[in-house]
Each structure stands twice: as C-alpha cells, then as structure tokens.
Amino acid sequence: MALAPRLDLRQSQQLVMTPQLQQAIKLLQLSNIELQEFVLQEIESNPLLDEGQRDDEGPVSDSERDEKGSGDGTEERSSDGDPDDDGLGDIPLAEGADTRLESGEDFSETSEAPLDTNLSDDVYHHDSTADTPADYGREQLGLNGLGEIRGGGGFADDSELEGRVTGAQTLRDHLTEQLKLVALDPAALLIASYLIDVVDDAGYLTESVPEIAERLGTTEQEVGAVLDVCQGMEPAGLFARDLKECLAIQLRERDRLDPCMQALLDNLDVVARQDLASLRRLCHVDAEDIHDMVHEIRALNPKPGLAIGDGDPIQPVVPDVFVRRTPEGIWTVELNSETLPKVLVNSQYYAELNSLAGDKKDKAYLSECLSNANWLVRALDQRARTILKVASELIRQQTAFFESGVQGLKPLNLKAIAEAIEMHESTVSRVTANKYLASERGVFEMKYFFTSAIASSDGDVAHSAEAVRHRIRDLIDAESPSQILSDDKIVEMLNDKGIDIARRTVAKYREAMRIPSSVQRRRQKNMKL
C-alpha cells in the first residue's frame, strides 16, 4: 500500500462546547451568593448591563406592574397544564402538590419578545411583595429576632451592622491589650509579640519553642520564660502546645493541679476510652474521686481561644428554594427571590452609543456587549427554571419525607430525576450542587435527598440508607444503661421491622454518625450514673 497525501470528504457529528455554553453550564452549579458575585463582575465589565431596581427602592407605574405580571404580589398558578406552555408552574406534583414560580416575567420558552427593547422590560427578576418566600423563610428559620429586616435582608440601620462587624475584637487584639499591662524588657516584649502572632484561633502555639528561638535568634530558656508569662493571660489555657498543657494551665489557674490530676492528664488516652478501672489504678484514687476528676476535666475548655472573637466569618446557609404546604394541603415550591440577582439590558444607552460610534471596531464592540448582555439574561432565566424544575421533581419523589420526616425518605438517585424531567444526569448533578432547600422541617442540601437503597427483608419497597441510619440512632438513643444494644442486636431489631441489613453495615453507619461501640456506650452511661 503506497503512502501518499490525499484529500477525503467525510461527515461526522460532534458536540462543540462554545464559551457561552460552558459559561451557562457553570452558572448551574453556582449558589445564589456566588451568582450575585458573578453578575456584579459582568455588570462591571459590560457597559450595557445594569443592576435591576427592587420594588421597594422606587415607585412602579401601573403599566410596568402589568408588564411584570406577578410583581405586585399576585401568584401565577397553573390551571389546565397546557403541554405547549413550558412555564414551570404547570408541573404537577404528587398528591395534590403544586409548583409556583415567584417571578416578575413570563418564563415561557416560546416567548419571542426581544430582550433589548426597553430598559424597564429587560429585567431578569423574581419579585413579590405580599407573602413572599423570603418572608416565609425568615419566619420559618427564626430570623425575625435579628431586628427589622429590609428588602436586602440586612439590619434596619446599616451603621449598626458596620459597627457590629468592625467592633468585633480578635484574639490577637485581646492578647495585645493584656501585653501592655505586663512589665517586660524590650527583648522579652519582642518575644511575647511574636508568640501572639503564632497563636491560632483555638489558642494553641503553631510553632515549637526551638523553632521560635532559632527564628528570633535567642535561647530556648528566654522563650520559655516569656511563654510562662504569656500563659498567665486570660482566658486560661492560651499559648499551650498541646491539649495536655492547655488543660494543665486551666487546672493550675483553679489550684487543682495536684499529683493525682497530673496523672490523669498524663493518661488522656485512657480517659478517652473511659476505662475507669485503669484510671483508678493510675491515679491511686477511689471510684468516687475518679468520677469527680473526669467530670472536672470535661468542664474545661479545650479551645479557649474561640471564646475571644469570631475568627473567620461564618457564611450563613441561604436557601435557594422554599417549600411549604398551603392550607389546602398542596406542596408549593418557590425560588428565593431575595437572593436572585436582577439584571437589565440598557437598550437606550446602546442606541445612543451606537449612533456615536464612528468606526467598525467600536460598533463591533457594542454589538458584542449587547449579545453578551442578552445571553446573560437568557442564561439566568434558564437557570431559574431548571432549578425550579429539578426541585419540583424532588418534592414529588420525596413527598413522604416532608409529611412524616426522615422515616419517609425514599431511595433516590440522579437518574430517576433526570428521566422524569427529561434532562441529563450531569445537569441534575450541577443543579443540586451547592443548593439548599428550606422547609418546615429545616434547611437541607438538595444532595441530601439522594440516598442509596437497602433491600427489604419481606420483599417490599426498599428502604433509604438515610432512613435506616435515623432508625439506628433512635434505637441507640432509647437504650437503657442496663441493656446496651450490640450491633448484632440492632441487626435483629431492624430485620424484625423489615430491613435487611448486615452487621458490618450497621457498624459502618454507627461509626459514620460518631456513635461509640456498645462497650464504650456502657462505660459512658455508667460514668453518668
């Protein structure tokens, strides 16, 4: 066969991921907080994008309210379930459940209205003013006690919030203030300042004494002397190098560090095993004294630094979807309109700039900005409808959970949801990632509802692994000190309830829930007695 260059004509099919398609896929897995940051970045880079104005930030005309649909607080409900209408409010839920999309515009895919016609029309928003999901979420999650909640979800006075943030004292500030009251020479003061810098949020030193001495060019004796002074700062237990030293500092402060207590600290691994017989021999005390000593150890703070300051700010969990039951017994699914960004395309500004543009390069830039702006509005619209569609199917599949609790949780996987809503499994996975659902039973990550199946011993419907874990915890919580349940006994009791499970599976679930073994639980409950 001769080797020679030649031209062939072939036909083939392949999926081309355009940059916009890749970005749209990325938007699906962003949480609402991350989405807001992304939209703000787009607004900064695109002159034709503006942040939409909330209804409580300015008056809205009657014509604009009519164009926004449910923006006045009314709720659009599905009626006849027309298959040609792709509004997600038409998705039926099991047992009379219903889905509603709190929105200020029509989310029908068949809508042909241009996105760049009018400033007030090109808005992607989810608004309602009466009985909104955000009001429901605050009431259900107990947020009304934080003060007056405004449209942005903040405090009634912005200066009050700023004062709370800037006024928080850190552990380093707390220790620096105490250092000013200690009489030290300049060299010792330098060592003490460095020790404060290497203390973590829990109050422990992150470097050893030899490392500190080598770094500062001094001796270990000088560092140790300054360390003894710093360990006298409040709260007691700071500047410790390990847990044993942290507890010893606190006991010394209470004048309780006697030889017996020191022996107990030297055997913290035995305390963790709760082997009282061995502890009595090691500490040379009777049973009553060892009980008192162990309780005294447990009353100490193993992380004293956390009592000062808040460390890194804790990001609150913001629900993406609200689920509630109406008085008629219908389950409704609503998007959290408070956290969804509002974006509008400033077509008037585009027309003004386009008329002033002199060369093709400027016109091409404006055309690209307009295209990107219109795409972002459509992508946000599609993301909202996809999240609502997946959440609606989750509620349909797990209706028993919202009615009866964890016991009603059913086995579920991504494939079942994907087939029901005619989407790919990867899309469902991205939609449920970093998304939270708020209901009367609490706030749950959407991934929580996907659990593996455990076969039924009587051939009935399989049980959810999460529901089985909940049953195991209930059985252990209800056991008495005189009748501690072994893993074999738990397997037997679950088999009697129709759950076919192996002993090693029970042990795995128990360890995952950080529940000690039957021997350790017996020791714990005997100590409490």
Confirm if 39 and 31 have CB atoms less than 8 A apart.
no
Q: Residue 66 CA to chain centroid, in angstroms?
A: 37
Cα–Cα nearest to 347, from 114, 170, 522:
114
Q: What is the value of pTM for the model shown?
A: 0.57
List pLDDT tens digits, range 349-380.
888 888 887 788 888 888 889 988 899 989 99
pLDDT, position 57: 45
Q: Looking at residues 227-251, what average pLDDT do you find?
A: 91
H or E segment at 453?
Answer: strand 453-454
Q: How many CA atoms lie within 13 A of 59 on its CB side?
A: 3
Q: What three-state secondary structure class fits 497?
A: coil
Question: Final residue of a domain: which of 307, 333, 353?
Answer: 307
Please report which confidence band the pLDDT of residue 247 belongs to, taking 50, 70 and 90 as the band edges. Answer: very high
Q: Residues 273, 350: one domain?
A: no
pLDDT, position 87: 36
Q: Which position has the higher pLDDT, 142 or 320?
A: 320
d(CA 280, CA 396): 58
Q: Residues 31, 128: one domain?
A: yes
Q: Residues 210, 240: one domain?
A: yes
Q: Is residue 51 part of a domain?
A: yes
The CA-atom distances, in angstroms, between 7 and each of 3, 4, 11, 31 are: 13, 10, 13, 50
> Residue with structure tokens 């001796």?
219
Q: Residues 244, 194: one domain?
A: yes
Domain count, the chain: 3
Please give the angle made by the CA atoms of 74, 77 and 81, to the nearest 5 degrees: 160
Q: Residues 286, 336: one domain?
A: no
Q: Residues 182, 299: one domain?
A: yes
Q: 381 is in which domain, residue-wise?
A: 21-139+320-388
pLDDT surpasses 50 at 447:
yes
Give the full edge-to-edge strand order of the sheet including 321-325.
331-335, 321-325, 436-439, 442-445
Q: Taking the C-alpha atoms of 485, 489, 491 and 492 in order, what is their torsion angle to the nearest 10 degrees?
A: -140
Q: Which position has the higher pLDDT, 24 or 304?
A: 304
305 exposed, middle or buried (CB, 10 Å; 0-12, 13-18, 19+)? Answer: buried
Confirm if 150 and 156 have CB atoms less than 8 A apart.
yes
Q: Is residue 399 part of a domain?
A: no
Q: Is residue 286 part of a domain?
A: yes
Please report which confidence band the pLDDT of residue 61 belongs to, taking 50, 70 and 90 as the band edges. Answer: very low
Q: Is residue 346 part of a domain?
A: yes
pLDDT, position 136: 34
Q: Residues 476, 518: one domain?
A: yes
Q: Residues 132, 213: one domain?
A: no
d(CA 202, CA 305): 4
Q: Is residue 407 part of a domain?
A: no
d(CA 187, CA 194): 11
Q: What three-state secondary structure class fits 480?
A: strand
pLDDT surpasses 50 at 50:
yes
Whichever domain contains 497, its CATH number is 1.10.10
List pLDDT tens digits, range 283-303.
888 888 888 888 888 889 999
Q: Residues 280, 329: one domain?
A: no
Please report which confidence band the pLDDT of residue 310 belongs to, taking 50, 70 and 90 as the band edges. Answer: low
Please report which confidence band the pLDDT of residue 342 belongs to, taking 50, 70 and 90 as the band edges. Answer: confident
Q: What is the mean pLDDT of the chain?
A: 75
pLDDT, position 313: 56
**What is the number of other CB atoms lying within 10 angstroms of the CB of residue 323?**
26
Question: Final residue of a domain: which of 352, 371, 388?
Answer: 388
Question: Final residue of a domain: which of 358, 388, 418?
Answer: 388
pLDDT, position 85: 38
Q: Is residue 509 part of a domain?
A: yes
Q: Looking at residues 137-141, what average pLDDT do you find?
A: 35
Which amino acid type is present at position 374?
N
List pLDDT tens digits, range 407-445.
888 888 888 899 999 988 888 898 888 889 998 888 888
Reduce the secondary structure of 147-186 to three states and give it as a string: CCCCCCCCCCCHHHHHHHHHCCCCHHHHHHHHHCCCCCCH
Percent of residues, the chain, with pLDDT higher than 90: 10
Q: Residues 110, 175: one domain?
A: no
pLDDT surpasses 70 at 23:
yes
Q: Residues 350, 379: one domain?
A: yes
Q: Is residue 444 part of a domain?
A: no
pLDDT, position 1: 57
Q: Residues 191, 278: one domain?
A: yes
List pLDDT tens digits, range 487-507.
888 988 888 888 888 889 888
Please report which confidence band the pLDDT of residue 457 belongs to, taking 50, 70 and 90 as the band edges. Answer: low
Q: Looking at residues 154-168, what average pLDDT do you find?
A: 45
Among the ranges given (125-134, 253-262, 461-470), the one the predictor scored with the smallest mean pLDDT: 125-134
